[in-house]
Structure formats: C-alpha cells, structure tokens
Chain A
Amino acid sequence: MKPAPFDYTRPRDWSAALAALAAGARPTAGGQSLGPMLNLRLAMPETIADLRHLPGFGVIDQQRDCVRIGAGTTHARIEDGAVPGQVGAILARIARNIAYRAVRNRGTLGGSLSHADPAADWVTVLPAFPGHAIALGPEGERRIPLGCFVTGVFAVALQETELLQAVELPMLPEGTRFGHWKFCRKPGEFSKASACVLALPGSAPRAVLAALDQRPLVIDDAAALLAAPEAEAARIVEGLRLADPWREALARVALRNAAQEAA
C-alpha cells in the first residue's frame, strides 16, 4: 500500500496554485482523504500541489455580519472554538465528531467540502447555511451558494481550474435554532445517515439529509418538517426510494431527530 510516484509542489501564492492546477496538479490540504487514496492507489496524480502554505489559507476572518473561514482551517481548530459566535459553537459541535483528533488536526474544512464524500460531516451541515463557498479561478473569485456546492457523490460545483478558497457563513441572529443527528456504529466512523436543520428567525428553515450514498438532499423550506417531524421525515424519506431498509429507517430517524431538536 504505497502510492504510485508523484511530484510535489508547494505554491506560495494563489496564482502559482492556480497555475499548478491548470498544469494538471491535484491540490491537497490536510491530506486526510487524499492520503489514504494515494496509499491505496485509488488516486494516482502526477503532481500534488500542497495548498497549506498559501496566504490566508487557514485564516478565520470575522466581518460585520459574516465570518470567512479559510478553506485550510482544520477541523481541530474549529472544534477548539476558533470560529466566533453561535455559528462557531455549532461548527465546533460538528467538528468534534469528525473522525479522530489526529485526523482533525490535519484535515480541513475546505478539503472535506471539496472531496464531497456523501457521508462527510461538513457536506451534511454546510448546505443548511445561507452562506457561500468562495471559489478562486483564473477569472477571479466566484461565490457559490453552499446549498448548491455539492452536486453529487464526490462531485462539487468547482471547475477543474478552480480552488476552494474559503467558506463564508452569516453570523447567526439571536433566536437561531439548530438540530443535528447522525448515526455511526462507532465514534469517528463515517455516518450511515445524518441530517441537520437550521432555522433562522424570519426565514424558512433549511434541512439537509445526507450520508445516503447519494447527493445530499437539501430542503429549502423545511417548515412542514419542523411542524410535524415524525410524519414529514417519513414522507420525505419515502420519496427517496432507498434500496436498503435499514438505511431508510436511519434516514427517517436522522431527519426527525434533527427537526425535533431544532423545533
């Protein structure tokens, strides 16, 4: 289990990184998803471009009504409270249950989102936020609504020539409610069903149901779910026509529990 040969580059600025990308390099951040794939030869890139030394890559910048989280921010820093406010508290709670601390110390928010494992935690949680993924490409910056960022299993809305630079999340107003539930057979395991609900005062609550070996389901208006979690969860999950009755049951429970917590 050793990787196929590859070259390594360490761009020092974003234009160099984009140039490397244009030349076919595979970007890496924490290496916690790419690393196993390299060792198993499931990924055999010719060149790896290490993004970790880019300016601002791991910087968390609180602005007036939003927080911009550099793509290179590790799960561990988020767990330890580096993101301010209620949004930070929510992210910290999620981060703590990603993998294991040694993985969280290296793995990044941006890497996880770009990798788009259907069972990954940020893939479940971030689409619920009315925020944006900030992509950087040869033409400059592009803001992609988080609800549209993940487009499929291991597929995202980034162009091949783009990098994920940051994620921008709104500071949450007083009265925001959040619910999240996931099922793992053991701590640190990728979940077998997960769901979250985010309800901001004055706007329609959003829900996400994920970890079902398919693109996360984003529900833009989850008011009905919050009103009748049990029945709505059952209805929504039935519509997915999942093949495996166990995963179907878990999905129902996940959605209901997340909704009940947020209600």
Chain B
Amino acid sequence: MKLHLTVNGAATALEAEPRTHLADLLRDQLLLTGTHIGCEHGVCGACTVELDGAPARSCLMHAGSCDGATVRTIEGLVDDPVMALLCEAFSAEHALQCGYCTPGMLMTARDIVLRLPEADEDRVREELAGNLCRCTGYRGIVRALLAVLASRRRPGSGDPDSPLSGCLA
C-alpha cells in the first residue's frame, strides 16, 4: 500500500506492506535507525517514538494505521531544547552504557519532563516502567531526569542561555 507520513517535519510518501510496523518502516526505508527494536510486543520501550504528538510504541503500529501520521524520532529532536537538557544530564549522570535503550528512554524522558513537571523520584521511576534498560540499573537515568526537572523548575530556566548540550555541542 501507499502511505504518507510526516517524519521529523518532512512529508514522505512510502510504499509498504500493511503488515510492516512503523519501527521497520523508519529503520529500513527511511534509514532512521535511532529507533530501536527490543521486543516487538510493547514491553521494552526501545522503539518509542512520538506519534501525533505523544509517545507510542512504533513496533505496534502497522503501516496502514500510520497513514497520515506525524512522527518524530530521536534524530528529529537533536535541536529540541528539552532533549538537549536531557542529553546533557544523561551524559553527566552516566545514564547510558550500551546505548541501545537510550533513544526510547529519551523519548519517554522528554514526555515526563513536559507532561509532569512536578514529578518526584517515585513518580519518575513509575513513569519509566515501560522502558527497560539492562545495563545501567536506572540510577543514572532517574538522576538525570530529576536534574532536568529541577533545573526547569528553577526561576528563569526558560531563558535560552541556560546551559545546554555539552554532548551535543
């Protein structure tokens, strides 16, 4: 079937079997390999992307259902200010090792920061339940998220000169 997607801001026309899931479409056809596949049954979170403005499992969205959707992947968020803060904090807190869970983890982390600005440690841990990491033991991830949440709660944190992106510079 033919389908249309807007991926990272660009309108894209694709040809795919209806059974192909979004993660495979992004990876194999659009070469956006930052979206990873870890289980293909919705549990691990490695494939999490932003679909029509909210995080979703790309392994569970088959081509047909995606037609007309707007997708953002990790590659499309390189210039996003919240993502920049998160990347900086992930590196500082050693929140990644093999890096395989990382893109999905960052997609979820960004959603937590934007949706739950008041989240405390317990809430952060609970919200991370749908993203498995086998390497880090989560401490770095939780600390990185708490650091970003705290920095955004500080007065004046909205200003563009706030420290961004050590790792992205």
Q: Are A36 and B64 in contact (CB under 8 A)?
A: no
- Chain B residues in 8 Å Cβ range of A4: 19
Most chain A CB inside 10 Å of its own CB: which residue of B45, B48, B54, B56: B56
Q: Is the CB of A6 within 8 A of B18?
A: yes
A19 vs B145: C-alpha distance when bound (angstroms) = 49
In-complex Cβ contact of A100 among B18, B115, B130 (8 A): B130
Enumerate chain A interface residues (CB-CB to B < 8 A): 1-10, 28, 31-32, 35-36, 38-40, 48, 50, 52, 76, 99-103, 105-106, 186-188
24 residue pairs A–B, Cβ–Cβ below 8 Å: A6-B19, A8-B64, A10-B67, A28-B65, A31-B60, A31-B65, A32-B57, A35-B21, A35-B59, A35-B60, A35-B62, A36-B40, A38-B19, A39-B41, A48-B18, A52-B65, A76-B54, A99-B42, A100-B45, A100-B130, A101-B55, A101-B111, A102-B108, A105-B54
- CB of B130 within 8 A of CB of A101, answer yes
Interface bin, chain B: 20 to 34
The 4 closest A-B pairs by CB, nearest first: A100-B130, A8-B64, A35-B60, A8-B18
Residue B75 is within 8 A (CB to CB) of chain A in the complex: no
- Is the beta-carbon distance between A102 and B18 smaller than 8 angstroms? no
A39-B59 in contact given A8-B1, A52-B65 (Cβ < 8 Å): yes
Q: Which residues of B contact A9 (CB under 8 A)?
A: 64
Residues of A within 8 A of B19 (CB): 2-6, 38
Indicate whether B11 reaches chain A with its CB closer than 8 angstroms: no
A102's contact among B20, B57, B65, by CB below 8 Å, is which? Answer: B57
Assembled-state Cα–Cα distance A249/B31 (Å): 51
B contacts, CB < 8 Å to A: 1, 17-21, 24, 40-42, 45, 48, 51, 54-57, 59-65, 67, 108, 111, 115, 126-127, 129-131
Would A103 and B130 count as touching, CB distance under 8 A?
yes
Q: Please name all residues of chain A whose beta carbon is closer than 8 Å to the beta carbon of B56 when the two chains form the complex.
A: 102, 105-106
CB distance from B65 to the nearest CB of A (A): 5
CA of A45 to CA of B111, assembled, Å: 34
Q: Which residues of B contact A32 (CB under 8 A)?
A: 42, 57, 60
Residue of A nearest to B130 (CB): A100
